Amino acid sequence: MSSPGDDTGGGRVLVGLGVAPGYAIGRAHLVDRRRVQIPKYHVEPDALDAEVARFEAALAASETQVRTLRNRLEAAGEEHYLILDAHQLMLQDEMLVDGVRQTMRAQSINPEWALKKVLRSIKQVFDNIDDEYFRERRSDVDFVGDRLMRNLLGLSQPGVAEAAHSAVVVAHDLSPADTLVLTRSPVLGFATEAGGRTSHTAIIARSLELPAVVAVAGLTEHIGRGDLLIVDGTHGRVIVDPPPAEVKRYQALQLAYQAQRARLDAVRHDAATTGDGHRILIRGNIERPDETRGVLDHGAAGIGLYRTEYLYMNRETPPDEDEQFEHYKAVLEAAGPGGATIRTLDIGGDKLAASLRVGPEANPVMGLRAIRYCLHRPDLFRVQLRALLRASAHGALRIMLPLIAGLEEVRETRALLARCRQELAGRGHPMAESIPFGIMIELPAAVTLADWLAEEVDFFSIGTNDLTQYSLAIDRGNRHVAHLYNPLHPAMVRIVRHVVAAADAAGIPVSMCGEMAGEPLSLPVLLGLGLRTLSMNQNSVPLIKAMVRDLRVDDCEALCAEIAELRTAAEVEARVREAARGMLDGAMAASILDPML
Ligand code: PEP
Ligand code: MG
């Protein structure tokens, strides 16, 4: 395999993070966001008012532009208008707006110079927060600052409006406003220098189902307008000026990928029943209520994990009971008979919210997070529990607690829930009589105590993202140990087996909602270990459902008996690959096991 920046005679291969699968072959359309020249000058006292007025005019123009774009996006049924709401708020932010006015007056300088200074200090605040989500919101500051600056200078706003047909959009980063055009013009894919798995480009590319590679170092330096490019979102590569043979190879991959997608799409609503008659429930994971419909459209039978912490992010104050109630009610109503497993706030660790500050922690992943934070702040927790109880009158709700380590947390939460129910009954609110109450198994302590926990809760859901992190001591976000992450590690296989056995012995349902649930290669193992409910990101649903129909549980059980004897991750993986080749339909096996052909 070529290393980043290699010139192998097969085109220059740039390596990044594949955040939306698929292959695009086309000419580069560079979105020009080169820095504009910023004039810097001192202003005489009698000219200051006029300069401030110039800033106010640029601010008003920016607000109008963002509002117009936002309304157009909303009218077009685009969910991404919410990102523009954040930009609108930023244009009213005191730190930015008053900051520029005050800096101009205090230092007698022109608005462009003052804006530059203020933006720099705001970005420093973001830089000092060690969190991927916040680092990515830093790009919102860049977009808003760039818009204001261009309006001050009377320049047009750059964008992708003129994106040619069959173009691959290449940019340092893409603004949410660009998406308005992108959703209409027939672009083929994206490649950006900035971004991560949760950056706007990644989110948008996944929802448009276009291939995307982000975090490509040196991308805009190596690519010129009109260069022929291959964006390989499946493997996280961008190939610049590929030779004809490489283009041919990728055209074949593209065709195979499209054919497979079409096959999967056509049967996404068929039941997921194995060849030997076992019905498998495939549910979807969401971060926002408006994703519910998309998940069902992909063929999922309800919501298996709603990560409610996203409701608390990107805002100054936490959502109140009524607001949360409306969100949960909307999810339950849209989820239909499959219902929704709504997880209580899992804040802290790698997920921070400005509205809920925990003091600095040396090791936040082992800190005051998730259920620990909630029980430490019962005032806040009760708001969420009350909202959930009220929502239970509107659909099949299941409540789930994250990061449970032992029985105390379960019991304490049950007691809080009972008190909230009493309060609400006193206020005359309708509520479901009984609500399934379950926990995530994502700590080794919960695995060890699974038999006792199973006696006190209604269901388990295995969170392999954290469970792998804590069991194998592999930081989820650390690229230096990412190569060690393997869900087929024999320790993980044993852990899952143990948890399923404990749930079965107690007669409670057990599901899995970590990323492993949507990984094709893990599926035969999960079925063989006894899992019958899996919850995953929406794009994995059609593929996993189709795979289920190709598999037989008895074969999967035989495979699991064999791998129980294998002592290394490499041996387990090799055996599973070999077995999958025999179990799956030829085209399916090829697309999963040999995606490079
Ligand atoms: C998990 O840890 O596997 C999980 C599903 O929770 P999250 O990814 O939200 O931490
Ligand atoms: Mg987790």
Return the CATH number at 227: 3.50.30.10
Annotate 285-317 with three-state secondary structure.
EECCHHHHHHHHHCCCCCEEEEEHHHHHCCCCC
379 and 230, same structural domain? no
Which ligand is the nearest neighbour of the Cα of 286?
A: 1
In a domain, 399, yes or no: yes
Q: Which of 135, 153, 171 is the last residue of a domain?
A: 153
The region that residue 530 occupies, defined by phi over 0 for left and psi between -120 and 50 for alpha, beta otherwise, is: left
How far are the Cα atoms of 128, 134, 330, 438, 562 from residue 558, in angstroms, in the given order? 51, 46, 43, 30, 6
Residue 99: inside a domain = yes
pLDDT for residue 1: 33
CATH classification at residue 479: 3.20.20.60
Is the CB of 464 within 6 Å of ligand 1? yes
77 shares its domain with 97? yes
513 counts as catalytic: yes
Is residue 175 in a domain?
yes
Region 485-494 average pLDDT: 92
For the ranges 476-480, 565-569, 585-589, the lowest mean pLDDT is seen at 476-480
- Please indicate, yes or no, whether residues 249 and 347 belong to a single structural domain of this protein: no
Which ligand 1 atom sits nearest the alpha carbon of residue 463? 3
For the Cβ of 307 lying below 6 angstroms from any atom of ligand 1, the answer is: yes
pLDDT score at 78: 61
Q: Sorting pLDDT into bands at 50, 70 and 90, what band is 3?
A: very low
Residue 369 alpha carbon to ligand 2 centre in Å: 10
pLDDT at 537 over 50: yes
pLDDT at 274 over 50: yes
105 with 170, same domain: the answer is no
Set 374, 420, 513, 556: catalytic member = 513
Q: Is 51 found in the same domain as 25? A: no
- The answer on pLDDT for 36 being more than 60 is yes
**Are 256 and 297 within one domain?**
no
Cα(468) to ligand 2 centroid in Å equals 10
Residue for token digits 């930081």? Answer: 475
Q: Tell me 514's DSSP state.
A: S
Query: Measured from the CB, is residue 569 less than 6 Å from ligand 1?
Result: no
Q: Can you read off the two tokens belonging to residue 3? A: 């290393």
What is the pLDDT at residue 199?
64
Q: What is the pTM of this model?
A: 0.73
Number of residues assigned to the chain: 597
CA end-to-end distance (rounded Å), the chain: 14
Hunting for tokens 């096991």 — which residue is that?
A: 593
**Mean pLDDT along residues 108-118:** 94
Q: Is residue 38 assigned to a domain?
A: no
Nearest atom in ligand 1 to the alpha carbon of residue 464 is 3
Query: pLDDT category, 77, cuts 50, 70, 90?
Result: low
State the average pLDDT for the chain. Answer: 88
Q: Are residues 16 and 127 located together in one domain of the fold?
A: no
Do both 398 and 517 map to the same domain?
yes
Residue 307 Cα: closest atom of ligand 1: 9
CB-count burial class (<10 Å; 0-12, 13-18, 19+) for 116: middle
Point out the catalytic residue in the list 29, 80, 87, 200.
Answer: 200
- Asked whether 299 lines ligand 1 (CB < 6 A), one says no
Residue 513 Cβ inside 6 Å of ligand 1? The answer reads: yes
Separation of CA 164 and ligand 2 centre (Å): 42
The pLDDT of residue 309 is above 80: yes
Per residue in 381-434, pLDDT (tens digit) is 999 999 999 999 999 999 999 999 999 999 999 999 999 999 999 999 999 999
Mean pLDDT of 324-345: 98
Q: Are residues 177 and 295 in the same domain?
A: no
Name which of 28-42, 287-301, 374-388 the model is least confident about: 28-42
pLDDT of residue 350: 67
What pLDDT, on a 0 to 100 scale, did the predictor assign at position 76?
Answer: 66
Asked whether residue 414 falls in the same domain as residue 307, the answer is yes
Determine the average pLDDT of the residues in 186-193: 88
Range of the domain at 168: 6-33+159-264
110 within some domain: yes
CA 254 from centroid of its chain's CA atoms: 25
Of the listed ranges 292-306, 469-483, 515-529, the one predicted with least confidence:
469-483
- Asked which of 264, 279, 314 is the last residue of a domain, the reply is 264
Rounded to an integer, what distance in angstroms lies between the CA atom of residue 397 and that of residue 370?
Answer: 20
Per-range mean pLDDT, top range of 120-134, 186-200, 243-257, 382-396: 382-396
351 and 486 together in one domain: yes
pLDDT score, position 234: 87
| Co-location of 259 and 274 in the same domain | no
| Ligand 1 neighbour 18 (Cβ under 6 A) | no
Domain presence at residue 483: yes
Higher pLDDT, residue 390 or 596:
390
Domain boundary among 106, 129, 153: 153
pLDDT of residue 597: 45
pLDDT digits (tens, 9 = 90+) for 165-185: 678 999 888 766 665 566 566
Q: What tens digit of pLDDT does each residue of 18-32 get?
A: 888 899 999 998 886
- What domain count does the chain have? 3
Angle (CA) 283 286 287, round 5°? 165
